[in-house]
């Protein structure tokens, strides 16, 4: 059943890939049921390999599902791909394709012509998008002379030239600097509000982005939706297990023994990119356990540089459901599996 106000709907959606060297199948999507209403800015939050891009590719008709079904703007993605394509657009962050000999403005004009946007309207939109992305002064620069970051901004601008009903943004601020990311987020928020029924489905690695921008967020891992709600409801629903962040000296013994401490729910760590210090995150069942953690760290010859107790954020929610943080290179799970 397709609901009248559903911009996007999936039912038991799966997509399998056969890994080339191995016989084992990868379940990129494993039974996804999702309804995104018209007018929503909806976020998909998940670690690398969670299945976010696979879902976006199916919804934008670039990939067929293995089983289950999906509809966008009321049209089935497999049976009516052209009707879907007329109503959507897609921006993949990190993508910087384009024709090197064209200028920035010519590129936007070309895309507006693909979609049959009237000239005056196309110029107005191009000017607005050039302003938002900070590309205005590069309007007459050829793509071959743009930096990768600028090409990405152009790619973002291109996604809005056709005035789509539904926009899919796969990591839209990936690789953009802080200021450009902020402008892009502000643009997305304004774009959705500007006209009723405009819908955004975005994927992101950045918790703040999902929190700030999205009315509802789905946490996805291993092709399954683990939680779905408004950011504040997700935060409220996390059992109040204390999370501590501890900054450690880089050198010392292995941190594995921390897992064996009673009451320690999960331990994950990564190296701080600038300082090289170890950033350790420990979830415990009650505050008192942290004393034992500190004692064990001392025994492991690690010095504690800093200790903080974290207030629940979307990151806490994420760790609770996924068992590790998004930034962690190396995750050690204790007890939650
Ligand atoms: N074309 C493909 N062939 C084989 N495996 C793939 C292909 N595309 C994605 N996968 C696998 O499917 C899983 C989900 O990938 P993806 O949807 O790109 O995740 P995300 O965008 O969340 O990082 C990963 O394990 C990935 O390796
Ligand atoms: Mg991806």
CATH topology (fold) of 6-236: Rossmann fold (3.40.50)
Question: What one-character-per-residue DSSP string does 193-244 give?
Answer: HHSTT-EEEEEES-HHHHHHH-SEEEEEETTEEEEEE-HHHHHHHS----EE
Whole-number Å distance between alpha carbons of 144 and 328 = 35
Domain 239-333 of CATH type 3.30.70.100: yes
Whole-number Å distance between alpha carbons of 220 and 227 = 7
Residue 336 has pLDDT above 50, yes or no: no
Helices (H), the chain: 52-59, 81-85, 104-114, 119-133, 148-160, 178-194, 207-213, 231-237, 289-299, 314-322
Whole-number Å distance between alpha carbons of 321 and 221 = 9
Question: Dihedral of CA 159/36/48/46: which sign?
Answer: positive
For residue 325, report the phi and psi dihedrals to the nearest 5 degrees: -85, 160
Could you tell me the residue ranges of all domains in the chain? 6-236, 239-333
- pLDDT tens profile 77-110: 999 999 999 999 999 876 667 778 899 999 999 9
Mean pLDDT score of the chain, rounded to an integer? 88
Pocket test for ligand 1, best of 43, 54, 63, 219 (most atoms within 8 A of CB): 54
The rounded percent of the chain whose pLDDT value lies above 90 is 53
Distance of CA 51 from the midpoint of ligand 1 (Å): 6
Q: Record the pTM.
A: 0.79
Distance of CA 92 from the midpoint of ligand 1 (Å): 14
- pLDDT tens profile 21-32: 767 889 999 999
């Amino acid at each position: 059943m397709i609901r009248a106000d559903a911009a996007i709907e999936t039912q038991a959606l799966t997509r399998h890939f056969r890994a080339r060297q191995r016989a084992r199948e990868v379940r990129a999507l494993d039974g996804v049921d999702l309804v995104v209403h018209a007018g929503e800015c909806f976020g998909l939050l998940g670690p690398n390999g969670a299945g976010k891009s696979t879902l976006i590719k199916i919804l934008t008709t670039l990939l067929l599902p293995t089983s289950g079904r999906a509809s966008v703007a009321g049209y089935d993605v497999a049976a009516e791909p052209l009707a879907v394509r007329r109503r959507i657009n897609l921006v993949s962050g990190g993508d910087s394709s384009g024709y090197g000999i064209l200028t920035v403005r010519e590129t936007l004009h070309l895309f507006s012509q693909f979609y049959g946007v009237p000239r005056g309207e196309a110029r107005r939109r191009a000017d607005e998008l050039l302003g938002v992305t900070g590309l205005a002064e590069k309007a007459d620069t050829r793509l071959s002379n743009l930096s990768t970051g600028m090409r990405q901004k152009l790619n973002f601008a291109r996604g809005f030239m056709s005035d789509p009903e539904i926009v899919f943004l796969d990591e839209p601020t990936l690789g953009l600097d802080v200021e450009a990311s902020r402008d892009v987020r502000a643009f997305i928020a304004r774009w959705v509000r500007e006209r009723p029924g405009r819908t955004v489905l975005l994927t992101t690695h950045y918790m703040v982005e999902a929190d700030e921008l999205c009315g509802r967020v789905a946490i996805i891992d291993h092709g399954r939706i683990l939680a779905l709600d408004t950011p504040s409801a997700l935060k409220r629903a996390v059992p109040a297990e204390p999370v501590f962040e501890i900054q450690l000296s880089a050198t010392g013994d292995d941190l594995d023994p921390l897992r064996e401490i009673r009451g320690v729910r999960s331990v994950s760590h990564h190296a701080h990119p600038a300082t090289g210090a170890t950033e350790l995150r420990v979830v415990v069942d009650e505050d008192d356990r942290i004393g034992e953690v500190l004692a064990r760290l001392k025994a492991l010859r690690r010095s504690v540089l800093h200790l903080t107790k974290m207030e629940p954020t979307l990151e806490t929610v994420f760790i609770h459901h996924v068992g590790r943080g998004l930034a962690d290179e190396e995750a050690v799970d204790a007890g939650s599996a």
